[in-house]
Structure 1
Amino acid sequence: MSRSFQFSFLQALTFGVLLFMALPNLIVLAISFNREATLAFPPSGLSFAWYLNVFKTPSFAVGLQQSVLLATVSSAISLALGIPAALAIVRFRFFGRQAVNVFVMAPLFVPEVVMGIAMLLWANAVSTISNTTTLVILHCLIVLPYVVRLVVANLQGMDPNLENAAMLLGARPFQAFFRITVPLIGKGLLGATVFAIVMSFHNFTATMFLIGSRPTLPVAAYQYIRTENDPTVAALSTLMMLAGILAVYLMERWIGLERLVR
C-alpha cells in the first residue's frame, strides 16, 4: 500500500468522522430555515421568520438574562476559588493534597442529574436560601473543575523560580504572584474564564431541577418545545452553536488552544 494512498485514506476517514459528528448540528441548521411551522427535515422551503421569532419570544429574553447572570457570577466565584486551589495543588506538599484534588474534580464524575437532585433536596432543607443563590452554587460546582484543571496545567508549565527571584529582589509574595505569575498564566486564566462561562451558559440537565420563575436559556428552549412545534427552537439552537463556534475561534486566534494546557 503506497504512502499516498494511506494519506488519502486517512484524510477521507477524518472527513467522515467530522461529518458524522457535525451531522446533527447540520440537520438543526437546515430545520431552522424551514418555511413551514413544523420541525421537519428536509425543509420545504427557506425562511428567516423563525430567527426573528427568537427575538420576539419574551421567555428567551428572560432566559438569556438569567443565563448571562449565572455564567458571570459562577465564573467569577470559580476563578476566585480555583486559583488558590490550583496553587495549593501545584506549589505545596501537604497531607490530603491528593484528596483535595479528587474532591475538586469529583463533579466531573458525578452525573448532572444526581447533582441537580442533590441541590434540590438541599435547597428544600435550607428554606432561607434563594433560588438564584442555589443555582449559582450549582454552576460553581459544575465549572470549578474546569477552572482548576486549566490553571493547574498552566502553573505546571511555568518556572516557579521566576517568582522566587522576584521575592529575592524584595517583592512580597502577593506582589510576586500578581506581577510575575499572573501575567505568565494570563492566557490560561482567560481560557478558564471562557470555558467556565460556556459550560455554565449551556448547562441544562442539572439546572432544570432548580428552575423557578426565571428559567435559563436552555431551559426556556425546552419549555418552549414542549408546547410549540415550530422551528424557533432550531433557530435558537443555531444561534447558540454559532456563539460557541465564535468563542472557540476567538480563543484560538487570541490565545491558541494548545497553549491552554501547557
Structure 2
Amino acid sequence: MRRKRDFVQQCFHLYILLLFLFLAAPILIVIVVSFNPEGYVRFPPSGVSLRWFQAVFMDKTFVTAIINSGKLAFLATLISLGLGIPAAVALGRYQFPGKYLIEAFLLSPLSLPMIVLGIALLFYVNKIGLGLSFSSLLAGHVVITIPYILRTVVGVYRGMDRTVEEAAMVLGANSWATFYHITLPHLKPGIIAGAIFAFLLSFDNVPVSIFLTTPETTTLPVALLSYLVYNFDPSIAAISTLEMAFVMVAMFIVERLYGLQKLTA
C-alpha cells in the first residue's frame, strides 16, 4: 500500500515537472534566441551576443513605441485608479437600486472578446468626433483597465472590517478623514495589485491598440506585430526578453516591499 502511494506521489511530481517544462520552455527559448549573434532566428544559437539588444535601442521606431507604451500604460493606470477606487468603495459600501447591474456593466470588459471591444471603441471614438489620437487610445485603455482596479479593490473592501470606519467616525473623524486615514490604507494591497495588472495589460495590449493607434502613437506590441510582417530576426526575441525582465523586476520589488501573498490575499 505504501509503495503504491509512493508511486502515485512520484507520478504526480513528474507531472508537475513536465507541466512546468511545458510552460517554461517557450520563454526559455525566446531568452536564449535573443542572444543569438546570427542575423536569423536559430536555436540553439551559435554563440552569445548583445547585438540584437543594441539594435532595439538603436531603432527609433522601437524606442518611440516603448516610450508611447510606457506613457500610455502609466496614464491609463492613473486614470483608472482615480475612477475605479471611488466606484469600488461606493459599490462595496452602499446599497442602491441597480447596484449589481452597474457592477456587472463596469466589469463587462473582462468578459468581452478584446477584438470586439476594439472594433466597438473604434466606431465610438469616430462617432463622437474624437478620431484616432492619443486621447482616444488612452480612453480605450482606461475602459479595459478599470475592471482590474475595480475587481481587486472591491474584493479587499468587502473583506474589510467596517467597524473600524464606524469607530473613527464616532471619535469625531469626518468622512474624508476616515477614508484617507482608515479606508485607504486597508485598500492598499488591492490598489497595488490592481495597478500592476492594469499597467501590464495596457502595456502589452494588442486587440484594442491596433484599432486606435496612428503612426505617431504606435505602441510596442503593435510595432512588433508590424515588424513581424516583413522581418523575422532575433530583435523580436530581444524585446520580449526585455519585457519579461521588466515584469520580473517589478514583481521582485513589489515582493520585497509588500509581499505578493499580501497583495493576493
* TM superposition score normalised by structure 2: 0.93
Q: Does the aligned pair in 1 maintain the 2:77–2:145 contact within 8 Å? A: yes
Of residues 239, 248, 254, the one that matches 2:242 is: 239
Report the counterpart of residue 107 of structure 1 in structure 2. Answer: 109
Preserved contact between residue 132 and residue 214 of structure 2 (Cα < 8 Å): no
- For 2:45, the equivalent position in structure 1 comes to 43
- Identity level (%): 38
The Cα of 1:47 is off from its aligned counterpart by 2.0
Q: What does residue 124 of structure 1 align with?
A: 126
Aligned-residue offset at 1:130: 5.4
AA partner of residue 228 (structure 1): N
Paired residues, what number? 262
Residues 146 and 198 of structure 2 are in contact (CA less than 8 Å); yes or no, is this contact kept in structure 1?
A: yes
Residue equivalent to 2:66: 64
Match of 2:188 among 186, 189, 196: 186
The corresponding residue for 1:226 is 229
Counterpart of 1:140?
A: 142
Quote how far apart the aligned CAs of 1:199 are.
1.0
Q: Deviations over 1:95-145 (max 9, x none)?
A: 111101111110011111111111111222233455111111111111111
Aligned CA distance change for structure 1 residues 128 and 201 (closer, same or farther; 3 Å): closer
- One-letter identity of the residue aligned with 1:62: T
Unaligned runs of 5+ in 2: none
Q: Deviations over 1:66-112 (max 9, x none)?
A: 11111111111111111111112211111111101111110011111
Quick one: distance in 1 between partners of 2:23 and 2:102?
36
Runs of 4 or more, structure 1, over 6 Å off, are none
Write the distance in 2 (CA, Å) between the matches of 1:250 and 1:156.
27
* Cα contact 1:154–1:261 (8 A) shared by 2: no
SS at match of 1:260: helix
- For residues 188-227 of structure 1, what are the structure 2 equivalents within 5 Å? 188-213=190-215, 214-227=217-230
CA distance in 2, matches of 1:100, 1:260: 26
User: Per-residue displacement from partner, 1:2-42 (whole Å, max 9, x unpaired)?
Assistant: 34443333222212111111222122112212222112333
Deviations 1:199-252 (A, max 9, x none): 111111221111102211111112222222221111011110111122223333
The residue identity in structure 2 corresponding to 1:135 is L
Q: Is 2:33 aligned against 1:12?
A: no
1:54 to 24, 31, 56: 56
Amino acid at match of 1:40: R
> SS of the counterpart of 1:192?
helix
Q: Give the Cα–Cα distance (whole angstroms) in 1 for the partners of residues 7 and 159 of structure 2.
A: 39
1:27 corresponds to which residue? Answer: 29
Cα distance in 1, alignment partners of residues 154 and 130 from structure 2: 36
